[in-house]
Amino acid sequence: MATLAAVLLLVAASNAAALAKAVEYHSFPCRRAEEGAATAAASAVHFRVVHRDAFAANATPAELLKHRLQRDRRRAARISKAAAAGGANAANGTRSSGGVAAPVVSGLAQGSGEYFTKIGVGTPATPALMVLDTGSDVVWLQCAPCRRCYDQSGPVFDPRRSSSYGAVDCAAPLCRRLDSGGCDLRRRACLYQVAYGDGSVTAGDFATETLTFAGGARVARVALGCGHDNEGLFVAAAGLLGLGRGSLSFPTQISRRYGRSFSYCLVDRTSSSSSSAASGSRSSTVTFGPGSVASASFTPMVRNPRMETFYYVQLVGISVGGARVPGVAESDLRLDPSTGRGGVIVDSGTSVTRLARPSYSALRDAFRAAAAGLRLSPGGFSLFDTCYDLGGRKVVKVPTVSMHFAGGAEASLPPENYLIPVDSRGTFCFAFAGTDGGVSIIGNIQQQGFRVVFDGDGQRVGFAPKGC
C-alpha cells in the first residue's frame, strides 16, 4: 500500500487552551502499520543491528504486531517470575584498549527475540544471526547434528568443521558456573540447558569457541552452548547473545580485554525491510569496549542482590506535556533489595514498557487528558487500553512524554516511541501497559532511536537521543 506521508492537524489551539496548563506537543506523522554498515573503531568492536521485521515474508503488519505482543506477555511474565524468585550470577573481570562491534537488525518479522546481530562463529567462521538479549546471560546457538532444531536463517553451525571449537570438561570452573548444568560421563563433556518462561528450551554441549565481529575482530574462547536440542519460539535466529550482568554473559566474558561496557541503538521497528537489511541501510550497531560509552544522559545502575542478570535503574518520574505526572510515584517503582521485588529494568527483548499498575494508570490518564483533541478508538488492542482513531489524518499533535531517572538523567521520547500503529485503518495505541508482576520494564519500543549505554565499568546506564 502507498506510504502515508502527509500531515494532519489534530489538537488545535482552542483544544490546548482548554487544558488546565500549557502542554508541550509533538507533531506526529501518522504512518499506518503497513508503511513502513559497521566499522571497527580502535577502541571498540561494532556489529550492525536489525529488527526481526526485516525478515518478514507473508505476515501482515497487524499479524506481526499481534504475535509480537503475545511473545511480549510471555517474556514479561518470565522476567517477573525470575526477579521474584531471585537468581545468582557473579561477574568477574587487564584489558586491551580495543573493542568489538556488530550490526543489529530488528527481527520482528521472524517471530523470535526482537533485535538480531550477525557474527561469525568458529574457524573458519560460520555466519550466525543472534538475538540480542540483556535479560539473559548464556550465549548459545544451534549446532549440527540436530536432534531437534527449528528453522533458522543461514547454515546451522557444525562444530566438527571448526578448528577452534573446544569442549568444556565436567570438572572445569566454567561448567560449575551454569545454573542448569550437567555432565556426559562417557565423554566427560559439560552439558547445558536453558529454559525460558514461554516454554522454549535449548540444550546441548557447553563449549568454547572463537567469535568474529565486524572488521575482522576476533574473540577467542568464548563460552557458549552448542544446542543440539532446541524448541519453542526461536525463529530465524541461529541463537542468542546473552548481554546480562551475570558471569557467563558475553560482556562479562570479554571484560578482561575490552572492559564491561557496551551500547546499542535499536532502529525504528517499522523502518526495516529485507532490502534494507541486505543493504545495511536504516540499521545500527551494538558496540563493545571503551568506545561504546557515548555522550549520554546517565543514571546509576541499581543492584538487585537476588537477581544479578538484569540492568536495574531508578525511574523517579514521567512527564506528559511538559508536566510531571503526580501519580507516577517513585515508591511504586523502587526496588526492594531485601526481597528482590519491584524496581525498573532496561530490557532489549521486551517490546512494550510496563509500569507498576498505579503508575501506569496515572500516566495513561494524564496522556488521555492532554490528548483530549484526539478521537479515542472504542475498545483496545491486545494489551493496549488506550487507542486513537487517526484514520484519514496526515499529521497530528500529540503531548510530549519524558522519562526521568535518578541522578537527573532524562529520556524525552519521540512520538513514534509511544504512539504506534496497530492496523491499516489508522488506529494508533499508547504503547505502555500496566503490570502487577512486581518488576517494571523499559521496553525496546521506548528505546528505539536512542543509543542505550550499559557502562558496567562506571555502573551506570545512559540514553543518547538520535543515536542510530
13's grid cell:
489551539
Other CB atoms within 10 Å distance of the CB of residue 383: 19
Burial class (CB in 10 A: 0-12, 13-18, 19+), 29: middle
CB neighbours of 156 closer than 8 A, spacing ≥ 6?
Answer: 142, 143, 144, 146, 149, 238
Lookup result for grid cell 517494571: 440
CB neighbours of 254 closer than 8 A, spacing ≥ 6?
Answer: 100, 219, 222, 288
The catalytic position among 53, 72, 347, 423 is: 347
The catalytic position among 133, 268, 423, 455 is: 133
Could you tell me how many residues make up the chain? 468
- Are residues 50 and 108 in contact, defined by beta-carbon separation less than 8 angstroms? no
Q: Is 171 left (phi over 0), alpha (psi -120 to 50) or beta?
A: alpha
Burial class (CB in 10 A: 0-12, 13-18, 19+), 408: exposed
Is 347 designated active site?
A: yes
Is 229 designated active site?
A: no
Phi (first) and psi of residue 72, to 5 degrees: -60, -40
DSSP letter (8 states) at residue 227? E
Outline where DSSP puts E strands in 293-409: 297-300, 312-313, 315-320, 323-324, 335-336, 341-342, 344-346, 353-356, 387-389, 395-399, 401-405
CA dihedral angle for residue 242, residue 284, residue 56, residue 310, rounded to 10 degrees? 30
Q: Does the CA dihedral 278-280-284-285 come out positive or negative?
A: positive
Q: Where in the sequence numbering do the catalytic residues fall?
A: 133, 347
